[in-house]
Amino acid sequence: MQTLIYTLRFALLGIVVLDTTDLFAQANVEPTSNDQPVRPNILWIIVDDMSAEFSCYGEKLIQTPNVDALAGRGIQFNHAYVTAPVCSTCRSAFITGMYQTSIGAHHHRSGRGELKIELPADVQLVPKLFQDAGYYTSISGWPNKKGRLGKTDYNFEWDPSIYNSSDWTQRAPGQPFFAQIQTPGGKLRGASPEAAEKLAAQAKQVLGSATDPADVTLPPYYPNDPVLLQDWAAYLDSIRLTDHMVGEVIEKLRQDGDLENTVVLFMTDHGISHARGKQFLYDEGIHVPLVIAGPGIEHATRNDLVEHIDIAALSLGLAGIEIPKSMQAQDILSPEYVARDAVFSARDRCDETVEHLRSVRTANLKYIRNYLNQRPHMQPCAYKDGKAIVQAMRRLHDEGKLTELQDRIFQPTRPTEELYDLANDPFETRNLAGNPEWARQLEQMRQRLAQWEETTGDMGRQPESPEMYDSDMQVYVDGIAKRNKSPEHAQRIQDNIAQMKLWAKEGK
C-alpha cells in the first residue's frame, strides 16, 4: 500500500506559482515513471509566535502576497491546531510526530538541567528517518548564517548528527534534501514600545510602509489601549516581514534550480504571544496557518481539523518513507486518510510557572479543563509579565478600567471547565459549562477528553517531580544571570518559584 500511495502522489506533478511576481513561474516538471518516481525535496518553514492573520486567512489590514500565492497553488488548511501552545513542547511534538504528553516532553524547556528526559525506545525523530532514507538534512534560520543550526528547542536528549548541516546546498549532486528554516516571526516585535517602534522602522525600510496602530481592531477581550494597539500593529508588520522572507526563500529555490522538485510547507509553532494567546488553549494560542505547495500537490482549501504533528507523517509520506506504526501523527495527504472530528491540545509548566490545561476542539465546540482552577489565568510568569502589553492590562485592571470580559484573566480563580459554542462565539467569551441547556454537550466533551488522556498515556496526569522542577529551574535562573538580566528580573523569577511551591503545598 505504501508503494501504491507513493506512485499515486507522483503520477501527476503540479504547477506551483509563488510570490508577487510569480517567482515560481511554471514548474516544468517531467512526469516520472511509476517504478522510479523522483523523490521530492521537503522544506519546512516554521515561524515563531504567530497566529493566522494572513490575508489568505481573512486578515484585511495587511497583505501577504507570498504566503497567499503559496496557498493559491497548494493546499490551505483553515483548521490546523497545535497540540502545545509554546515553542519547545510544540517542536518536541512535530519533530517526533507524537503528542508531547505521550513522550514526557510536555513541560516547556524541560530536561535541560542535571536530570534528563529520554525518548521512548520506539520514538524516532523525523530528520533521522529522512537521513536513513538517503536524504540530506539541514536546519537553519533566515537569512542562513553559515555554520549555525536553526532553532530546535527539543525537551529530550537527541543526537545533533541528525542534521547534516545548516545548508541544504551542501548535499551531494542529485541527493534530495529535508530542510527546515526556523524564523523569529512574532518575536520580531519584541516586548516594549521601543521594540515596536524599531520594527515599524524596519517595515518602512523593507516594505515601504508600517501598519498604523489607529487602524488596528483588537479582539474584544483586549482593551483599546495605545500600548496594545501599537503592539498589534507591530505584530502585523512582523507577519508582513515574514511573508517577505517566504518570497526570498522561494527565489533562492528558483535560482538554485530546486524549486520544481521541492514541496514547501509553511506553518507557525503556536499563536501570538499575548495574554490569551501563546501558552493558553483558546484559539488565539492554538490555531495556526498551514500551507503546503509543490509537485504532486493539487490546489485545494481544506476545512477539516488537523493537528500540527501531522506534518511529520505527511512529509514522510511525500518522500515514500515508511511511517512508523507507533507515530501518532497522521498522513493527512494520503488517499486513505480519514478526517478527524476533534483535535487535542495541552499546556503544562512554562518556565517557572506550573500549569495543567487540556482541551478538545471539534468543528463547533471547545472544551477546556483547568486542572489548577484555584490559580488565576494570569499566574505570575516573568516571561509574560515582562511584556508591556501585559503590564498595561494589569495597570488597567488595578484602575478598574477593564470590561468584565477583559478582566476575567486577572480573577484569582478560574472555572474548572469551560465550554464554548464556536459557531456563535468564535472569540470564546461565553462559558456554557454551567448552562443546563448544554449539559449533554459538556458531558460528551468531558468524556472525549478523558478518553484521549487515557488512550494516549497523558504523562501530565502526574505532577512534575520536585527534583525535575528544581533541576530545570537552576538552569533557567543561571541562564538569566548569564544574559545579564536585571537583578529585579532574577528576583521576580525566584519569587515566582517560591509562589509555585507554596501553592502546591496548599493543594492549589
In this structure, of 245-259, 294-308, 365-379, 469-483, the range with the lowest mean pLDDT score is: 469-483
Q: Which residue has the higher pLDDT, 25 or 166?
A: 166
pLDDT at 480 over 90: no
Given pLDDT bands bounded at 50, 70 and 90, which one contains residue 73?
very high
Given pLDDT bands bounded at 50, 70 and 90, which one contains residue 37?
low
How confident is the model at residue 8, as a pLDDT?
40
Angle (CA) 472-391-502 rounded to 5° is: 40
Segments forming the whole domain that contains residue 395: 347-464
Strand 365-370 to 417-421 pairing: antiparallel
pLDDT at 435 over 70: yes
pLDDT at 396 over 90: yes
Q: Give alpha helix (H) positions in 360-486.
A: 382-385, 388-398, 404-407, 439-455, 466-482
Residue 185 lies in a domain: yes
Whether 136 and 262 share a structural domain? yes
How confident is the model at residue 485, as a pLDDT?
75
Strand 177-183 to 136-140 pairing: parallel
Residue 323 lies in a domain: yes
Given pLDDT bands bounded at 50, 70 and 90, which one contains residue 13?
very low
Residue 438 lies in a domain: yes
pLDDT at 393 over 90: yes
Instruction: Please answer whether residues 388 and 191 qualify as being in contact, where contact means their C-beta atoms are separated by less than 8 angstroms.
Output: yes
pTM for the complete prediction?
A: 0.92
Given pLDDT bands bounded at 50, 70 and 90, which one contains residue 222?
very high
Question: Cα 470 to the chain's mean position, in Å?
Answer: 27
Q: Grid cell 541527493 — which residue? A: 175
Whether 394 and 267 share a structural domain? no
Which DSSP state fits 72? H
Q: Quote the CA–CA distance of 32 and 36 in Å, as a whole number.
A: 7
**340 DSSP β-pair partners:** 305
Whether 230 and 135 share a structural domain? yes
Q: What is the pLDDT of residues 166-212, one digit of tens each?
A: 999 999 999 999 999 999 999 999 999 999 999 999 999 999 999 99
How confident is the model at residue 249, as a pLDDT?
98
**418 DSSP β-pair partners:** 368
Whether 281 and 376 share a structural domain? no
CB-based burial of residue 424 (10 Å sphere; 0-12 exposed, 13-18 middle, 19+ buried)?
A: exposed
Whether 80 and 228 share a structural domain? yes
Q: What is the pLDDT of residues 46-57, one digit of tens each?
A: 999 999 999 999
Whether 253 and 377 share a structural domain? no
| Chosen domain end from 280, 308, 337 | 337
CATH number of the domain enclosing 438: 3.30.1120
Number of structural domains, the chain?
Answer: 2
Whether 299 and 360 share a structural domain? no
Residue 494 lies in a domain: no
How confident is the model at residue 230, as a pLDDT?
98
CATH number of the domain enclosing 35: 3.40.720.10
Residue 501 lies in a domain: no
Verify cis geometry, omega within 30 degrees of 0, for the bond prior to 143: yes
Whether 124 and 164 share a structural domain? yes
Whether 329 and 358 share a structural domain? no
Region 133-141: mean pLDDT is 98
Which DSSP state fits 227? H
Question: Cα 312 to the chain's mean position, in Å?
Answer: 14
Whether 356 and 331 share a structural domain? no
Residue 122 lies in a domain: yes
Region 481-499: mean pLDDT is 89
Residue 264 lies in a domain: yes
How confident is the model at residue 487, as a pLDDT?
84
Whether 366 and 433 share a structural domain? yes
